Amino acid sequence: MTHWPEVVELTLDGIAQGGDGVGRWQGRVVFATGGLPGEQVCVQLTEQRAAFARGHVIELITTAPERVPPRLPGTDHMSWQHIAYPAQLDFKRQILTDQLAKIAGLADLVIAEVIPSASPWHYRNAARLHVEQTAIGYFAAGSRTLQPIESDPLLLPSLNDALAAIHHVIEPEDHVYQIILRMSETQGNVVAELGGEGDLWPLAQRWRDACPALSGVAVPGLLSHGETTLIEQLDGVTLSLQPTVFFQVNLMAAKQLLHMVYSELSLQGDERLLDLYSGVGTFALPLSHHVHAVLGIEEHSVAVANARKSAAEHHLTNARILQGRVEHTLIQIDESFDCVVLDPPRRGCHQHVLDELLRYMPERMVYVSCNPATLARDLKVLVAGGYHVARVQPIDLFPQTPHIETLCTLVRNK
């Protein structure tokens, strides 16, 4: 077999999970970061295996019509900014279709058109930034090399105001290594958390003085300069959030997801609902108004505390939130459930979780996924266990990136 050269020239004919262009050189697959289907490219190889190689495009010989000028070249956190937005939606649908067919064997499924984001730019209400001395930015893909950034076109304007303010007040002796920025789209205020060493209180004060929208900054040592709790509202439920807990980066998209989940569950009011990986109660608490009882399970202690606080403030006595790893906690529950919502992290569901779901055999399940590959893997198990896929609806929560959010409805076979 011919050895791989350092650079290969090829024509790309597909796009892979993760967003790389795909082509072939002497019959072997090449994954090309930065390339699009239909383009003839030169690829600098960075990983070489017997059957495939990976690399990045260093020269465009011909370009695809979907290619557009990037707004911020050299930043990996928005690796699809060189693709026109309508084409991003088409590519995401194609990737999802391919993964479900190849991994789950679900080649005959009808995949709905991707629901676009209301705004393909300036949509993010959260960011986790890294700091070296006074340089602030994101790590390059697959490394800890910092890509400094002055302003991020994915962030909501108020977050960019806060980012600009800290650029002006941070000093090398502050010894900060991480900044978390969050914004309430309901109330409009910004909160932050600093990670670092030593006394960061003076920096927090300078930052708040320079940014009126910044209502509070959490610093190491369980201290906070100002108010650091965020308030968001979903279907009449007020959620109290700490800066480190997971919440959808786009409130409008979170509302869309909630409404679709409610619709797909076909609730009548007497159901017992199980919400796995329940987070701060994004699904469990609003849906508690429409069911007899809901049980949420979440590993992250701060998210559980936030969810319980929100439930107590709304007197949602039919909503319980348990803390623990889902695969461990679910095995210990001796109850029955009519329907299930599950929204796992990118790694998908643990095998023990799938086994327990097939023991419960609820009539309907709605699986919210952020990774087509693990979604396909889990669907293969659930379909083999007695379910059929009734709907696959991708929704774009992350424009300018290859990340794909999918809502999948499973119905127990008769």
Question: Which residues form the catalytic set?
Answer: 370
Locate the DSSP E strands across 201-260. Answer: 214-219, 223-226, 230-234, 237-241
Contact indicator for 357, 365 with CB cutoff of 8 Å? yes
Q: Both tokens of residue 90?
A: 């088409």
Among 235, 230, 352, residue whose Cα is nearest residue 289:
235
Neighbours of 413 (CB within 10 A): 10
Q: Which residues face 25 on adjacent strands?
A: 28
Contacts of 321 (CB under 8 A, 6+ apart): 278, 281, 284, 295, 296, 297, 298, 304, 307, 308, 311
DSSP conformation class of 225: E
Give the burial string for 320-350 (b: 16+ CB within 10 Å, else e).
bbebeebbebbeeeeeebbbbbbbbeeebbb
What do you get for the CA distance between the two ends of the chain, in Å?
52
* DSSP character at residue 152: -
Determine the Cα–Cα distance for residues 103 and 95; give it in Å rounded to an integer: 12
Please answer whether residues 20 and 57 qualify as being in contact, where contact means their C-beta atoms are separated by less than 8 angstroms: no
Tokens 């024509």 sit at which residue?
A: 11
